[in-house]
Amino acid sequence: MQQEGSNNEIRDNGQSEQEQIESEQPGVDDSNDQDTEIFGILITEMGRAYAEFDGTNPLERPPLPKLKSSRKLAVVLCQLNKQILPEYLAHSNCIEQLHTLIYCAAVATVRTLGVKMPTQKITENSVKPITPKWEKRLERRTAEIRRDIGRLTQFTRGITTRKVRKQAMEIMQRLHHHSHQDATNINEWQCLDTLKQKLSVYTQRLKRYKASSHRKHDNALFQRSEKAFYRKLSSEPQEKSKTVPTKDQVEEFWGKQFGSTAYYNKCAGWITDEEAKSHYCNPMQYRAYTKQEIVDIVKQLHNWKAPGPDQIHGYWIKKLWYGCQDSETIQHVTGGCQAFAPTDYKERHDIAAKIIHQELAYKFKLIECKL
């Protein structure tokens, strides 16, 4: 009897522990409720992101932060691919809208997870470059000379207050000797001429040193990375003319170009030489890329590295797989070599398609190097 009592006590203790463990573990209903709550937040954030970024320039959008793997992230991606993206892609008919939807889906995911998102895009120009010491010295010396020129100019114009007279006398006493070969300065006009000559010398020296330093920096960058050098050249802001020509000026300019009849020598020697050089070149055969080739290229992308300035990481291109089910998108990406032309969409929109085209063209020796 004592043994049966002990067994019953052990059984009761085991049942109580099991009930306690089951009560601590989340049930299926709790998980479903949590997923439903996430789905509601995700729909709201997706609509807000699409209204905020639809039609905007991809190069001016905020960058996307890196996310850590979690169950909530997996649930959000699953809901995006199966329930939310199909509704948006039903009204999408071009790859530009697909690019916008991928970015908006990534933004909605980040906001649903509660991750802080940067408000503006961080560029290289936002970091102030370090000014070398020689440039600081020359700029400081130039500023001092300009200050003395201004004070001495006031004195020559007849402003003879006590402060101005004292400053002018100190400047003329300091500039008593123009040079070792010339005579000494005897009045304020000669001292002013000395200051202007010094200002010209220092400004020209500063300009010359800056040009030399710029050449050295470009040479070092070219030796280190040619791609970075050419990217720097293309990213430098170009000076735009503020004056817009009128309609009459445009018609007059192009009228002179196309209005007069011109005759050319069709039998020139250089034409024959160019034809001989290109005679051995065979025309490039059209080859359509398969879906599997694109999938293989996308698999090689790094998860948290953006292949282009649109700041969309390879992770989103891999995980938001529903966009690849659209037949029009596949036809656009696999449309052949015509997309190699420097069109506007390559520079502003689907950077992933640009990478895919370059990888495939380099693989089949259609281009010599990747841009």
Per the structure block, which two tokens stand in for 332?
């656009």
Task: Please indicate, yes or no, if residue 270 is contained in any of the structural domains.
Answer: no
CA distance 73 to 82: 14
Would you state the pLDDT for residue 359? 59
Q: What is the domain range of residue 67? A: 28-126
141-179 confidence digits (pLDDT tens): 999 999 999 999 998 888 888 998 898 889 888 887 777
- pLDDT value of position 11: 45
What is residue 55's DSSP assignment? T
Do the beta carbons of residue 119 and residue 353 sit within 8 Å?
no
User: Which tokens sit at 22?
Assistant: 């089951």
Whether 169 is covered by a domain: the verdict is yes
Write down which residue in 103, 126, 149 finishes a domain. 126
- Nearest C-alpha neighbor of 192 from the set 166, 218, 153: 153
Residue 167 lies in a domain: yes
How far apart are alpha carbons 98 and 183 in whole angstroms?
Answer: 78
Regarding whether 58 and 114 lie in a shared domain, the answer is: yes
**Cα 66 to the chain's mean position, in Å?**
17
User: 310 and 345 share a domain?
Assistant: yes
Cβ neighbours for 38, distance < 8 A, ≥ 6 positions apart: 72, 75, 76, 79, 112
The reply to whether 19 falls in a domain is no
Sign of CA dihedral 347, 353, 357, 363: positive
The pair of structure tokens assigned to 209 is: 């040193």
Residue ranges in the chain whose pLDDT is less than 70: 1-31, 119-127, 237-242, 307, 322-371
Torsion angle of C-alpha atoms 362, 368, 369, 371, degrees rounded to 10:
-90
Residue 87 and residue 168 in one domain = no
Which of 233, 250, 279 is a domain's end point?
233
Write down the pTM of the prediction. Answer: 0.47
The domain tally of the chain equals 3
Sign of CA dihedral 351, 356, 357, 363: positive
In angstroms, rounded to a whole number, what is the distance separating the alpha carbons of residues 2 and 165?
117
The label of the residue with tokens 């390559």 reads: 346
- Same domain, yes or no: 175 and 202: yes
Beta carbons of 121 and 62 less than 8 angstroms apart = yes
What span, in angstroms and rounded, lies between the C-alpha atoms of 229 and 222? 5
Kindly state whether residues 222 and 305 are assigned to the same domain: no
316 is a domain residue = yes
311: left (phi over 0), alpha (psi -120 to 50) or beta: left
Are the CB atoms for 316 and 95 separated by under 8 Å?
no
Strand partners for 177: 184
Residue 254 within a domain = no
Residues 108, 48: Cα–Cα separation, whole Å: 8
> What pLDDT is attached to residue 126?
53
159 plus 217 within the same structural domain: yes
Residue pLDDT, tens place only, 19-62 = 443 444 444 455 677 788 888 899 999 999 999 988 888 888 88
Cross-strand partners of 184: 177
For residues 110 and 91, membership in a common domain is answered with yes
217 and 149 in a single domain? The answer is yes
- Decide which of 193, 212, 233 is a domain's last residue: 233
CA dist 236 and 197 (Å) reads: 34
Instruction: Kindly state whether residues 211 and 152 are assigned to the same domain.
Output: yes
Residue 40 located in a structural domain? yes
One domain for residues 144 and 224:
yes
Any domain includes 23: no
Whether residue 62 is found in the same domain as residue 121: yes
